[in-house]
Every structure is written in structure tokens, then in C-alpha cells.
Chains A and B, each alone.
Chain A
Amino acid sequence: MFRSIRLQPLRSFKSYSQRFGSTLAFIEAQGDSISSASLSSLNAAKQIGNPIIAILLGSSAKSAAENLQKIDGLDKILLASNNEFDHNLPEYLSPVLTKLIQDESKDISHFITPATAVGKNILPRIGALLDSQPVSDIIKVQDSTTFVRPIYAGNALTTVKSLDSKVLISARPSAFDPVQASGSNSYPIEELTPEVESSSVEWVSENLVKSERPDLSSAKSVVAGGRGLKSKENFDQLITPLADALGAGIGATRAAVDSGFTDNSLQVGQTGKVVAPDLYVAVGVSGAIQHLAGMKDSKTIVAINKDEEAPIFNVADIGLVGDLFEVVPELTEKVK
């Protein structure tokens, strides 16, 4: 009898400290295909441990929802097929998502987006509307409110605990394996008909880099070029064939992008993409801390540079000091 009395307050404390609720996961889709970054953030969502409600917004939400049925471990799919959501403009998405998170009948305690251009655009706006401070770009889930994220261009890792009642997070895609799409489920689908707020902002056009090669963020290998390539012609003549031979994505340093060697969407680093492929080949890359921030979690790093003092050699597993204009064509021939 005494025991049960003593246990009572402990039990209630436990149920209080363990937040129950659902995790609302924002899914980015291109037409009907689910983005690989979203599959990674679903993995992070699973680690939080709550039931997962996926949300799809846009005119192809219904066909994308069919693909979500292939993923195990979800509880429910919400969708809204309004075409106002097609370009992921935060002015239209954020108020709708905010209302969902606040909807008591849905019991949402966590909201997660991938840390992509879209996720970074909408999440903080939702944070402002909910009066909650998001935890962005997490690389590890420690428990349902404690996460690890890099700061200072990845030169330090900080473990933080969210004290907000609604926990908002974005997950760094390269830090979580994408969940596999193999099963066949029949999650309940709820169609929403949200009221869309008006805004003076309008989407005008886009200019996407079209390429047959693997997407930089999800490629198993990446070949990246830096200032050492000296020109766009050299970049195209040396980096592209090596990437082709390895079946790799192409990346670049800020110096290479600013000099016009390649498109800025290929920039790897603190302010560009963060990648963690199995193989990263850095060609003519010095290894500034801003660039290392975007690739130092790669499994194997190869550096080719004529300057043996270049900081890239401090993180490279295999370094070759030599003239890239001789080494790269030879390497391309030998890995074909």
C-alpha cells in the first residue's frame, strides 16, 4: 500500500516528461516522387518515437500519397491538393501547417522538415507563427526533445534540448539514411481543404539545372572541382569525364562557382549543399573550413592537389600531390 502511494507521483512525472503526441512530417515531392531528403527526415522522425503523420501539399499530392504507401512505419497521410502550394511558397504553406500543428484533435507535438532550401524557407516562419524556436539541421536524435546539430561550419557539435511545447526540427539529409520504400500499406488518407491566406508574393519562373547524373545530395560518389581547375573549359573537360567514369555527382567549391566554372546549385559547403557520399574526390580544392563543412562526413575522401600544404590533405584518406591536369585524365582512364 505504501509502495503504491510512493509510486503515484513518480508515474505522473514520467508521463509528463515523456511527451506523447504525433510527429507531423512535411514531405517534399517532385510530381509524384518523394524527395530523397524527405525519406531521410522520415528516418529522423521514426527516431523521435511518436506516431508519424505525413503531410503532402500541392496539386500532385494524391499521386505522391500513393508512393508514400510504400513506406513502412507511418500512421496517417494528410494531403491538400490546392495548386497554390505547388511552388512551396512559405507565405501560403506556413499558415496552413501552423493551423494543423495547433489543431488539438491531431495532437501534434513535433513537426519535422528536411533541411533543404524548401524546409529552411518554411520552418522558421512556422516557428514565428507558433512562437516556438526551431532546432535546425539536426544530425542526431538523442531523445524526443534532445538533438545534436553542428554550429560554426561544423567545427563544433552542440547538444540541445527544446523547451517549447511544440518541437520544430529540420533534419540534415546526409545525416540520416533514407527510409526504404518497399512495403505496401494502406494508411488512412485524410484530404484537407484549408483556407489559403492571400499574399502579394507570386512565383514567376524557375531555371533548374538539368542533368542525367546522380543528384549531388544523394549521390554515392561525388567529384568536386575547385579553383585549381582555372577555367570552365578545364572543369568540363576534366571533372565531367571523371564523374562519368565513377557514376558520380558533380560538386564545386565557392571559388569555382564564383569564377563561373559551374552552376551555383552545385556548391558544397557551409552555405551550399552538405553531402556525405561513400567517395568524395576533391580536385584542385584547397580545403577552406567553409568547404569542409559540406563534405567532411564523407566515408572516403580523396584529394588531388599540387600544394602538399593544402588543408584538404588533413581530412583526406588518400592524398595525391600532383598536377591535376596530368593526374585526372590518367585516373579517369584507369577507373573506366
Chain B
Amino acid sequence: MSSKLNILVPVKRVIDFAIKPRINKTNTGIEKTGVKFSINPFCDIAVTKGADSSTLVDVGEEEIEPLSVAKILKQVVEKNQSNLVILGKQAIDDDSNHTGQMLAGLLNWPQATNAAKVEIKNDEVFVTREIDGGEETVKSKLPLIITTDLRLNEPRYATLPNMMKAKKKPLEKLKLSDFDVDVTKRIEVLKVEEPPVRNAGIKVGNVDELVSKLKDLKAI
């Protein structure tokens, strides 16, 4: 590498992946009070090694769209002079799968999304990506945006001593007003509702019954 690696890892706080979200009474969103939150699992994969310092951009309770997040991150990248940004491939709440690609577009950097393997050889980064029919490998020089797929690694658990040490690491707190970004929403949420409920199924006692039911339903 001509210059040393300076990695930025954006992480998102989302409702814990094991919790079934409940829709609020006004059908405008998901109930968030008293619900367990965790780091988005894809972001966990992106961090995996202890972070040296952190930045929190406090935007309050407002949900910020990926385009605005990407614009904020662009300014953070420029300020920190990062040359590699590793993000999760999607947040498990909005399921957009947008932010990494948008940040790459705004910075005009190459992007390697859905990474299952990352190797640095000389001055090039080789990334094996999960695609629809299997996988493909692309290579690029830095700077680069990578988004992580589930299989990139197994996130480590933070040990207690490391958690204590983490309390002493710098955490820079910034506000939305520290950035020159207009976060006006481009998408208006009209309604949030339950998906259609499936009709109760039946249990069969043996394979013969299963086959005859499938024939009744013309499924085979």
C-alpha cells in the first residue's frame, strides 16, 4: 500500500434480530419503546476487530434515509481521510441494502458489495462477492468501499477486559448540525401494516396422507 490503511466502519443500532417486531397502534411504524436493540448483525461482521476510536452522529429518534446517511458518511470519510470503508450489506430493519453503494457513488470510489472474502495483495484488494449464481472475484486499488456478507467472518465476542478498555477509547460526539447535509425525507411512509396471515395448516400422520393431500391441492 502506498499509504497506510485508514478504515472507517459505520455501524447501525437496530432492533435485535431475534425479536419479532410489533407494529404500532397508529400503523405508522414499528414499536420501539422497551424493545431490545443490538448492533446490526452485518455491521458486527464489518467491525470484528476492536475499533480504535468512534464517532457518534446524534440525530435523535428520527429515522434517517440511506441517502442522507451516505452524505453524512462522505463528510466523515473526508474529515478522517479514510481510504477503506467497510459496511454491512444491509440493515435488518429497513432492509434497504443501499448505504455502501450510495457512499461509493458520492465519493466516486469503487465498491465491492456482499463480500465473502477480502485479501490484500501488494497494492490491490481482492474481494470475492456473493452473487446470484455463485460467487465472483473483483480487484481494486484503494480507496474502496466494501460491504460484508454473512460469511465474511464470525464476529468475536467482546471480552470484559476489552469492554473496560473500550470505555477509555475516544468517542467523538457530533450532531447533525455539524454536517452540511439536508436530511429531508424523500420517501413518505403512508402506512405500516402486518403482512397477510396464512391460514392455519393441518398436520398429517404419515407420508401417504401427505402425498394424498398434495394431490388434492394439485401441488404434485
In whole angstroms, what is the CA distance A87 to B133 when docked? 13
Interface positions of A from 145 to 184, Cβ below 8 Å from B: 146, 150-164
CB-contact partner of B214 in A133, A263, A296, A318, under 8 A: A318
B138 proximal to A (CB < 8 A): yes
CB-contact partner of A117 in B15, B99, B131, under 8 A: B131
Once the chains bind, are B114 and A90 in contact (CB under 8 Å)? no
From A3-11, A48-56, A194-202, A226-234, give the one contacting chain B.
A194-202
A16 proximal to B (CB < 8 A): no
Residue count of chain A within 8 Å CB distance of chain B: 88
Given contacts A128-B106, A152-B95, contact A300 B217 (CB under 8 A): yes
A320 proximal to B (CB < 8 A): yes
In whole angstroms, what is the CA distance A135 to B190 when docked? 14
In whole angstroms, what is the CA distance A330 to B206 when docked? 10
Once the chains bind, are B21 and A127 in contact (CB under 8 Å)? no
Once the chains bind, are B141 and A90 in contact (CB under 8 Å)? no
Interface positions of B from 129 to 184, Cβ below 8 Å from A: 129-141, 144, 149-151
Interface majority SS on A: helix, strand, loop or mixed? Answer: mixed
Once the chains bind, are B208 and A206 in contact (CB under 8 Å)? no
Q: Which residues of B contact A94 (CB under 8 A)?
A: 105
In whole angstroms, what is the CA distance A308 to B201 when docked? 13
In whole angstroms, what is the CA distance A258 to B220 when docked? 31
Once the chains bind, are B30 and A152 in contact (CB under 8 Å)? yes
Once the chains bind, are B201 and A217 in contact (CB under 8 Å)? no
Interface positions of A from 263 to 296, Cβ below 8 Å from B: 263-265, 270-271, 273, 278-279, 289-290, 296
- Closest Cβ–Cβ distance, residue B115 to chain A (whole Å): 12
18 pairs, CB–CB < 8 Å, chain A vs chain B = A117-B131, A117-B132, A124-B98, A128-B70, A153-B92, A156-B21, A156-B30, A160-B187, A199-B110, A205-B137, A270-B92, A271-B150, A296-B195, A296-B198, A300-B219, A318-B210, A327-B207, A331-B210
Hey, which bits of chain A sit against chain B, CB under 8 A?
87, 89-91, 94, 116-118, 120-129, 131-137, 146, 150-164, 199-209, 217, 221, 246, 254, 257-258, 263-265, 270-271, 273, 278-279, 289-290, 296, 299-302, 308, 313, 315-322, 327, 330-331, 334-335
